[in-house]
Amino acid sequence: MFESAEIGHKIDKVTWKNTVPQLRTALLDAQYELKEQGRIPVIVLVSGQDGAGKGETINLLYEWMDPRYLSTLAFAEPTDEERERPVMWRYWRALPPKGRIGIFAGSWYSNPIHERIAGTMKQAALDARIDQINRFEQMLVNEGALVLKFWFHLTKAGQKRRLKALEKDPRTAWRVTQWNWDRLKTYDQLQEVAGHVLRMTNSPWAPWIIVEGEDDRYRGLTTGRIILDAIRKRLADADRQATPVAPPLQPNIDGRDVITELDLTKKLTKKQYETQLARWQGRLSELVRDPRFKQRSLICVFEGVDAAGKGGSIRRVATAMDARQYQIVPVAAPTEEERAQPYLWRFWRHVPRTGRVTIFDRSWYGRVLVERIEGYCSEADWLRAYAEINDFEHELAEAGAVIVKFWLQISKEEQLRRFKEREKIDFKRFKITDEDWRNREKWDDYHRAVCDMVDRTSTGTAPWTLVEAEDKAYARVKVLRTICERLAAALETTALPTAATGSKGRKARK
């Protein structure tokens, strides 16, 4: 992949002087139009060999463009806070909103390449990360982002010359350390690993752009022109870029499904409820104080029919824990800030660190439920959301999260009774809105959407638990019991922290 970047590309001073003013003007115009339209974010990854001009190129872009609408993120070793969350968490937090350009100096490619060279990541793990990255970038493009990935390349001799030149110049000598010279010794390994990664992630929706890095003027003009052309083309295209989304939905032939098969007559007596509630709340309290939970996190997702009792179940779960250990996240319509980001961004913000609990009252499943039914997103958006949600939950599970998802179901008749009851009680009136009544008119549509959701997102690592919620007591106990059983099973496979692993240890999880 690197042959065309090893032929000695150069730009003379006269060409540089004559070309740069026009390029700068065009880049500024494109940047302002990008901001004015506010439709897409631009994500620029800057990677390559040491000394290939990554920093100089970023500085040049800041000189040529309006820095108010640029942001640069540099990623070094993960912090303690970042290590306690999924690998991609810190990159999600850094994504630019629509209308802006985000430059990533180092990115989701840096750590896997370095770890593979150091021998701390096996080939199979690297390939698994590559697959994760491909799906992540595909999601970004499907959300409307323009992703530009630059690899600045040098030959081994060229890298050595660049480092010597930088070291000789008093203005840049500080940038060359013994670490850079030591890294030169691993040049061949970098070529092998980076070549493999670039080949496997050179996708149609986010291809790699390899630029020879030895001549500053050639590298700068090439990068600037590519960014300009890509932004212009993307702004001129009114339609969002899209890649294939999902297999078609299967029809229901016999009328039976996971919802119709629920036995909504299940009940508990008052005595049974009080006894079992105390038992499972006590058990949950013990589990979240278990030393092994410091290596885990707990994510509870509550979805369900309106008036099915999500709030009451959440309160019984929260009562069993120290308020300092958990967070309840109520999910409503997205804010302007959230609409300027990929759909899952606002949920990544609330991913708990190890040893903590997050409870979602409604969740990312709104895309395949209310947004699907109400037409708030396109069919392509909610169809591809199934795979993106599965990827999201898989990443959470890989990082140690225990994901427990509940759908609370009641009958249409019971819902009507509860609606009318809420209207009569002063302190419950806030729970019933015009939207709740409108949703009742689309009961059958929501029923089909829930069945599709369960079929496509109930996975081995994050299965759905369907809760018969006609009797609130039964539902609350089933929720608590399920959380305890799932969390206890996870802790059984988690070793106690040792001096070697510390509270952040991951070694003995499986």
* First-residue to last-residue Cα distance in the chain: 38
Domain 3-236: CATH class, spelled out? alpha beta
- Percentage of the chain exceeding pLDDT 90: 70
pLDDT at 230 over 50: yes
- Provide the pLDDT for residue 156: 83
pLDDT at 283 over 50: yes
Residue the block writes with tokens 């039964």: 474
- Provide the pLDDT for residue 185: 78
- Provide the pLDDT for residue 76: 83
Beta carbons within 10 angstroms of residue 174's beta carbon: 9
- Provide the pLDDT for residue 253: 63
- Provide the pLDDT for residue 243: 54
pLDDT at 510 over 70: no
Helix pair 123-142, 110-118: axis angle to 10 deg? 170
pLDDT at 247 over 80: no
- Provide the pLDDT for residue 428: 64
Q: Express each pLDDT in 303-330 by its tens digit.
A: 999 999 999 999 999 999 999 999 999 9
pLDDT at 506 over 50: no
- Provide the pLDDT for residue 433: 73
Report the alpha-carbon distance of residue 296 to residue 352 in Å, rounded: 10
Q: Express each pLDDT in 4-47 by its tens digit.
A: 788 888 999 999 999 999 999 999 999 999 999 999 999 999 99
Where do the structural domains in the chain lie, given as residue ranges?
3-236, 270-504
Q: What is the CATH number of domain 270-504?
A: 3.40.50.300
In degrees, rounded to 5, the angle at the alpha carbon of residue 255 between the alpha carbons of residues 250 and 260 is 110
- Provide the pLDDT for residue 199: 87
- Provide the pLDDT for residue 507: 41
Mean pLDDT value of segment 46-73: 92
C-alpha distances out from residue 62 to 56, 78, 144, Å: 10, 26, 24
Mean pLDDT value of segment 182-206: 85
Mean pLDDT value of segment 83-104: 95
In degrees, rounded to 5, the angle at the alpha carbon of residue 75 between the alpha carbons of residues 70 and 77 is 165
Q: Express each pLDDT in 374-412 by its tens digit.
A: 999 998 899 889 989 999 999 999 999 999 999 999 999
Q: State which amino acid sits at residue 35.
A: K
- DSSP for 391-417, please give it: HHHHHHHHTTEEEEEEEEE--HHHHHH
Confidence of residue 174 (pLDDT cuts 50, 70, 90): confident
Instruction: Give the predicted TM-score (pTM) of the model.
Output: 0.79
Confidence of residue 427 (pLDDT cuts 50, 70, 90): low
Mean pLDDT value of segment 463-487: 97
- Provide the pLDDT for residue 123: 93
Distance of CA 243 to the CA centre of its chain: 18
Give the CA dihedral 142, 247, 396, 493, nearest 10 degrees. -160
pLDDT at 100 over 90: yes
Report the alpha-carbon distance of residue 299 to residue 360 in Å, rounded: 8
- Provide the pLDDT for residue 12: 93
Is 34 within 8 Å of 94 (Cβ atoms)?
no
- Provide the pLDDT for residue 239: 62
Out of 52-56, 160-164, 493-497, the most confident range is 52-56
Mean pLDDT value of segment 417-424: 86
Confidence of residue 248 (pLDDT cuts 50, 70, 90): low
Mean pLDDT value of segment 212-236: 93
- Provide the pLDDT for residue 405: 98
Mean pLDDT value of segment 57-72: 95
pLDDT at 288 over 70: yes
- Provide the pLDDT for residue 43: 97
Mean pLDDT value of segment 246-263: 78
Out of 145-154, 198-207, 238-247, 495-504, the most confident range is 145-154
pLDDT at 342 over 60: yes
